[in-house]
Amino acid sequence: MAHPSLNRKSAIIINAILLFSLALIIIYKLILISEVKITKEIPIENETEVIKKEKIGNINTERIINANNEPQNWLSHGRDYHEQRYSPLNQINLETINKLELEWSLDMGTKRGLEATPIIDNGIMFVSSTWSVVHAVDAKTGKELWVYDPDVPRSWARKVCCDVVNRGVAVWEGQVYFGTIDGRLISLDAKTGKNIWEINTLIDSDKDYTITGAPRVANGKVYIGNGGADMGGVRGYVSAYNTKNGNLEWRFFTVPGDPSLPFEHPELEMASKTWTGQWWTMGGGGTVWNAIVFDPEFNQLYIGTGNGSPWNQQIRSPEGGDNLFLSSIVALNADTGKMNWYYQTTPEERWDYTATQDIILADLNVDGEDRKVLMQAPKNGFFYVLDRKTGELLRANNYVKTNWATHVDLKTGRPVLNPNKDYYEKAIWILPGTYGGHGWQAMSYDPKQKLVFIPTMEIAAVHRVKKTFEETGLYKMLPETVNTGTEFNLFDTVPDMSDGDNIPPITGELIAFDPLTGETRWSVKHKQFWNGGPLTTAGGLVFQGNASGFLEAYNAKNGKLVWSKNVYTGIMAPPVTYMIDEEQYISILAGDGGASNFLGDNFGIWEGQLASIKYGNYGKLLTFKLNGKSKIEALEEKDLSIPEQPIINASLEDIKAGQDIYANYCAICHGSGVHGKTISDLRYMSKETHEYFNEIVLNGMLEENGMKGFSDILNEKNAFEVYSYIVDVATKERSLQQRN
């Protein structure tokens, strides 16, 4: 085989070299084959050590799809793309759970809410905290490796409905992606924490947009939405960005804009026919602030959309209409953003019934046919099972008590409204309330039992049309505050009780729910309504934290409590589990807050029961393993004696006016009825706070703490009225304390 341009001797030499090279290739391939066999005998931690040396956080689509092949890691928000929050790890099980103890704890340096799900890859944990701060931690020891603070302007807190929280990061090919409260998407080097790129995702930074949700990543795209539909002028959308450079790949708007202008994509023309009036001047709402799930089997992205803005449909769409795509589950082509199908859980949305709650993907046999389904328990109280390919509604059973609708018609897919619960006619109470039957807190799934574990809530809402709109037909949306078109002053709103039912007490439960039959197999009652999301494991356990400050484990088959640990801090976040050096760990963020700050301590009913009030709200990252070597620090109970209040010259009219202002502008952070939870309870104001009250409230003296001034909305007279109301409440309750 001589080359035509070479002599015979040269050709022989080259052929010999080629034969030698071929032999080396064959030997190398034999070595590789042998290594595959050897790898099965190498412990997991040695195998992953090789990956760690190559690149930290080297996660990709293939690894997440095959997450069961490396159960020692927690690679994506819900562990894998199915987001079932079910782990195959079983070292911690019903027999060993009594040996579970704290291994390490990390002080998160905050007293605000912690909601994030950590990502763990080969011994490194990536987790977000308040104000969108990101931490990288050695998952075995708790040693902090780096911290990145995006320096969110503290004034942005006024744009936030529900605390300066963040629900997590995504990790992909050596980079960490996360959203910030002020609307940025940032990419960090997973090894060093250095900023690689950042972009502003907001279409209008003057509007009350925020990002609190965790991004998702697949096939070189990072997907992110935003929140703000409870505030003012916000229009919902989800965006896909290039993971390498942050370039915008596509964007899908969830509600149509001004119909006199070209629609951004064809689906909006159809949606616009379901709206009336001038909705676009108010934004419309429909924000994608939590549920974003990638489905590799159909290359679809499922998004859950939020409530209308404002809530009251009479204002945003006066002649009614379904108002697409509010409160909907929408399936998009993950590459292009084109809509494949949609299902609207709550047409004519007017109750703050978001469909932004977590979405789980699963395989179920439905009526004798194997189906690939998605499942969601949105706020409205009905549990939906949909065919992932077509969007066909398969089941819609109520998972909590509902009275706003009697049932969901499976033929039309629409809820059948209860005519006696129309708040356009009168003030009424409904279940679920605006907190929903289920909030953003995660739910988990047991693929063996085919059960979903849901942290449910029963908390009624009293709805009434805003008085000023009722009287004048006019409504003005105010910047950087809640704009719902409904009354927030519950003291001045008496609901119609002619149906004979009594408003039930506020409760929360963890339920084991059959998605096909609608049966609740077992339930665990909690002392409060606002508790954490669960984790299910192959060890036969369901883990959940609660507002009383306990992390607990239940038998997945019957709900029996098998382990409980007082951590002295309320918990909203879900636990995760992972393994290092053949030892299984359970890790969770402890730190209460979020939307529950509005209810505070339920007007004193839960005094002494909420860990965040009883001990303070010291945010921690807690990690447990069998025979853990650390101890949880026991905290002393706080002195809740209300201090003596100053004597002021305020009239009953001042106090009543202050009550209304407080309910509309202050309660969302400082608690209804001046009963705060994790943000300052104003009954306990210091002497200095009393002295500088106007400077704080009007001029933003404490803006760097997140308390921006309200001089754009309130004047000095208003500030005095609010102050009068706070002092009046504190004085009366101090007197009651002293008598008791």
| Cβ burial 308-347 (10 Å sphere, 16+ → b, else e) | bbbbbbbbbbeeebbbbbbbbbbbbebbebebbbbbbbbb
**Can you say how many angstroms the Cα of residue 103 is from the centroid of all Cα atoms in its chain?**
27
> Which residues, 6 or more positions from 253, have their beta carbon under 8 angstroms from its beta carbon?
235, 236, 237, 264, 265, 268
Query: How many of the other CB atoms lie within 10 Å of CB of 255?
Result: 30
Query: Can you read off the two tokens belonging to residue 227?
Result: 């929140």
Q: Determine contact, residues 434/306, Cβ cutoff 8 Å.
A: no
Q: Looking at the DSSP assignment, which residues form a beta bridge with residue 372?
A: 363
Give CA–CA dist 262/266, Å, rounded.
10
Residue 422: CB partners within 8 Å, gap ≥ 6?
428
User: Which 3 state secondary structure label does DSSP give 300?
Assistant: strand
Task: Return the SS3 of 27.
Answer: helix
β-bridge partners, 126: 119, 136
pLDDT value, residue 23: 39
Angle between helices 716-739 and 652-661 (to 10 degrees): 100
Write down the number of H helices and E strands in the chain: 12, 39
Residue 437 near residue 380, CB atoms below 8 Å: yes
Of residues 477 and 33, which shows the higher confidence score? 477
Q: What is the mean pLDDT of residues 51-61?
A: 77
Q: Kindly provide the residue ranges of all beta strands, DSSP E only, lying in 112-259, ordered along the sequence.
A: 119-121, 124-128, 134-138, 144-148, 170-172, 175-179, 184-189, 195-200, 216-218, 221-224, 237-242, 248-253
pLDDT, tens digit, for every residue of 440-490?
999 999 999 999 999 999 999 999 999 999 999 999 999 899 999 999 877
Joined tokens for residue 146:
């780096």
Round to whole Å and give the CA distance between 77 and 167.
Answer: 9
pLDDT tens digits along 240-251? 999 999 999 999
What confidence tens digit (pLDDT) does each residue in 477-500 have? 998 999 999 998 777 777 877 777
List helix spans (H) across 534-681: 611-614, 652-661, 667-670
| CATH tag, 652-739 | 1.10.760.10
Confidence at 602, pLDDT banded by 50, 70, 90: confident
By the 10 Å C-beta count (0-12 exposed, 13-18 middle, 19+ buried), 630 is classed as middle
Query: At CA 155, angle to CA 150 and CA 158, rounded to 5?
Result: 115
The two beta strands, 535-537 and 86-87, are parallel
Residue 14 has pLDDT above 60, yes or no: no
pLDDT tens column, 334-350: 999 999 999 999 999 99
C-alpha 434, offset from chain centre = 16
CB 257 within 8 A of CB 263: yes
Spatial distance between the Cα atoms of 212 and 181, rounded to a whole number of angstroms: 6
* E-assigned strand segments in 278-366: 284-285, 292-295, 300-304, 308-309, 328-333, 339-344, 359-366
Q: Where are the alpha helices (DSSP H) in 384-480?
A: 467-472
* Lowest mean per-residue pLDDT among 209-218, 407-416, 596-605: 596-605
Summarize the confidence of residues 695-710 as an average pLDDT: 97
* Threshold 0.85, pTM exceeds: yes
* DSSP 8-state secondary structure symbol assigned to residue 662: I
HSE-CB at 496 with a 13 A cutoff on CA atoms is: 14
Q: Is 474 exposed, middle or buried (0-12, 13-18, 19+ CB in 10 A)?
A: exposed
The residues that are catalytic are 352
Per domain, the residue ranges of the chain are: 8-41, 652-739
